[in-house]
Structure 1
Amino acid sequence: MANQTEVLRLLMANAPEYCSGDRLADELNISRTAIWKMVQGLQTAGYSIESRHGRGYRYVENNQLSVAGIQNGLDITPAVQLIVLPSVDSTNAYLKRMATRTPLTEPVVVVADSQTAGYGRSGRTFYSPGETGIYLSIGLPVTTDQPLDAGLLTTSTAVVVAQTLRQLFDVPVELKWVNDVLVNHHKVVGIMSEGITNLETGQISTVVVGIGINLTTAAFPSPLQSKAGAVLAHPTKVTRNQVIRQLLRTFFERYPSYRSGDFMPLYRQLSMVINQRVSLKSGARTYDGVVLDIAQTGALVVQLTDGRVQEFSSGEITKVNLLTGQYHG
């Protein structure tokens, strides 16, 4: 029996042209009255569908997130299971619960309009209001023939997000090691990878890559106002479905080869910390020095204040004193 999703897919496939009620009814083998009721249901759910006498119905892209909207024109390999939720505590937490119950055998992407308990590194809260942001997590099965390189996967994802934003919007994008994406010197994207261990083997069986994008978020809680920002300070005709579609397309194009580090030249180009003085927290210690480079492995190469050169494969830059520019964070 035909359902609203099938009607929506047909309208999307014909957009921006109108599709007659007769044609929809014939293709789905249901009555025109049933088509009319389903279109009404889609409109009530927030989809923008125009109706014109003698011409039928037309789908118009809007900011409503949907599986059909994201999949429309998305042609990627391998096949991806896509879940879209109106609200969730955290897309990462949702996927971790899902993968803990049943190990993943294919990539799964969870998208939410809002998060009630979004989080980042060190348990920090990730502000996740509805309608203005993109909150998604990608769950990937890990196998012995495709082992996980967490550092390169995180840096690769940062490049994927930066490329997506540069392709869709005219904004200056920079990367702060390891995975903060900045626009106009404000953090607009958070990325966090988490592994799930198989209790029987003791090996990581699934990795979850969480991505939060402040697309048009205009107001932040006071503790975040000085550092957080949005990709855009104005509304955009580019929908969230389009952004997610482009991001997933780029991510899965790069994923098979991310372990080679072939994206690192672009990561270095986008980096805002090379040749800058930084404070870096790694483990229980804080180090000060000048960033010389980012190694092919994604490690940060720092000349410390005592002259020694040291590589850091993990840690967090807590302060950047730009020798040029206006960033203060």
Structure 2
Amino acid sequence: MREKIIETILNNQDEFISGEELSKQLGISRAAVWKHIKVLKEQGYNIESVNKKGYKLVKKPDDLLTYNNICHELDTNFMGRKIEHFDTICSTNDYAKSIASESLDGTIIISEEQTKGKGRLGRQWHSKISEGIWMSAILKPNISPYKAPFITLIAGASIVSALNKLGVNSQIKWPNDIIINNKKVAGILTELSAEIERINYIVLGIGINVKTMEFSQEISEIATSLYKENYRISRVDIVRSIIVEFERLYLDYINKGLKESTLKICREYSAIIGKEIYILQGDSKELVKCIDINDQGNLVIKDNSDKTREIMSGEVSIRGVKGYV
């Protein structure tokens, strides 16, 4: 009922809607309407109440990552049509995996805080309350398991495309990091449950540092945030834009087998193509030159012997010669 109230208010942002009208539309008493409005105000909605006029949203709630705010005017077919929002959670990926079998394709889990957020290769992802976007999407594509790694590239292309459309000058460090000014602002963690010939589900985790201004000493030289780079952008707009971009590229790949749009974005916004980089694998460290990303989404590199070869995502980590990139 509360969701229907805020949806009605969001759809009438510039006008008052009376308690009587809400009461009639929803089939509840005016006292019940008032109680729901009170809770919505406590949740952070800036709703103005005026006697004999009713209720009106004073300011667009750009920082509340609730279902209603994200889905308001969201132009997608299935992504984000169901969103579970938490104040705090252990890990959005872990929770998504626990409910994935029974969940709708495109379900999104989003939390204001993660107490045990994780990144690639088991690394910890610092996820402080209300400072970022910590979310996971549950996907159930009808593709062979060997095609699943390309989903990570689609996610990277979606994030960088969304951020650049919002005015953020960002790049991709293949395969799963988003970079601003040669520092990491976002990461992607893709986890797969599959049998030999079919995918049960994919959980796509996305972490974006939005408001964080101070980082721990161990990552302060390689991590940044949108606010730290002077980009003041609504978290709601970022999430909504990523969802839209992702669905477009994802459906091209799943339904039509098209990779071109994703690969074009990954190449155009690459932070490493044309550069010398270190390939890290276990204790080994190899200096190579990054040449391209091929049609399978693998990294094409040239080593010191002038030999060209492919690197698959998941095999290695990458570092720049003079820093993170």
- Asked if structure 2 preserves the Cα contact closer than 8 Å seen for 1:151 and 1:313, the reply is no
1:115-159: CA deviation from partner (whole Å, max 9, x where unpaired):
000001111011101112001111111335x65623321111101
| Corresponding position of 2:308 | 309
| Corresponding position of 2:161 | 163
How many residues matched? 317
Q: 1:29 to 1:87 in 2, by over 3 A?
A: same
Q: 1:311 to 1:236 in 2, by over 3 A?
A: closer
Aligned residue for 1:87, secondary structure, equals: coil
Q: Which ranges in structure 2 are unaligned for 5 or more consecutive residues?
A: none
Task: Give the residue type in structure 1 aligned to 2:218.
Answer: P
The CA deviation at 1:235 is 8.1
Task: Give the residue type in structure 1 aligned to 2:48.
Answer: E
Aligned residue for 2:243, secondary structure, equals: helix
* Alignment partner of 1:318 is 2:313: no
Task: Give the residue type in structure 2 aligned to 1:177.
Answer: W
| Corresponding position of 2:30 | 32
* Alignment partner of 1:252 is 2:247: yes
| Corresponding position of 1:178 | 175
Runs of 4+ in 1 over 6 A off after TM superposition: 234-237
1:184-232: CA deviation from partner (whole Å, max 9, x where unpaired):
221000101110135xx67431111100011121122221111110022
Please report the RMSD computed on the Cα atoms of aligned residues, expressed in angstroms.
2.2
CA–CA distance in structure 2, aligned partners of residues 154 and 328 of structure 1: 20
Aligned residue for 1:260, secondary structure, equals: coil
1:236-257: CA deviation from partner (whole Å, max 9, x where unpaired):
7743222212211111121112
Instruction: Give the TM-score of the pair, scaled to structure 2.
Output: 0.90
Mapping for residues 76-155 of structure 1, pairs under 5 Å: 76-78=76-78, 80-99=81-100, 102-104=101-103, 106-143=105-142, 149-155=147-153
Instruction: Give the TM-score of the pair, scaled to structure 1.
Output: 0.89
- Structure number with higher strand proportion: 1
Task: Give the residue type in structure 1 aligned to 2:33.
Answer: I
Aligned residue for 2:87, secondary structure, equals: strand
CA–CA distance in structure 1, aligned partners of residues 38 and 231 of structure 2: 26
- Asked if structure 2 preserves the Cα contact closer than 8 Å seen for 1:103 and 1:206, the reply is no
1:245-288: CA deviation from partner (whole Å, max 9, x where unpaired):
22111111211123422121221110011111111124664332
CA–CA distance in structure 1, aligned partners of residues 111 and 35 of structure 2: 27
Q: Which ranges in structure 1 are unaligned for 5 or more consecutive residues?
A: none
Q: 1:41 to 1:234 in 2, by over 3 A?
A: farther
* Alignment partner of 1:205 is 2:204: no
- Asked if structure 1 preserves the Cα contact closer than 8 Å seen for 2:71 and 2:240, the reply is yes
1:305-325: CA deviation from partner (whole Å, max 9, x where unpaired):
121111111233432126xxx
Match of 2:222 among 227, 239, 257: 227
Task: Give the residue type in structure 1 aligned to 2:276.
Answer: R
Of residues 257-266 and 270-279 in structure 1, the stretch that sits farther from structure 2 once superposed is: 257-266
- Asked if structure 2 preserves the Cα contact closer than 8 Å seen for 1:78 and 1:107, the reply is yes
Aligned residue for 1:89, secondary structure, equals: coil
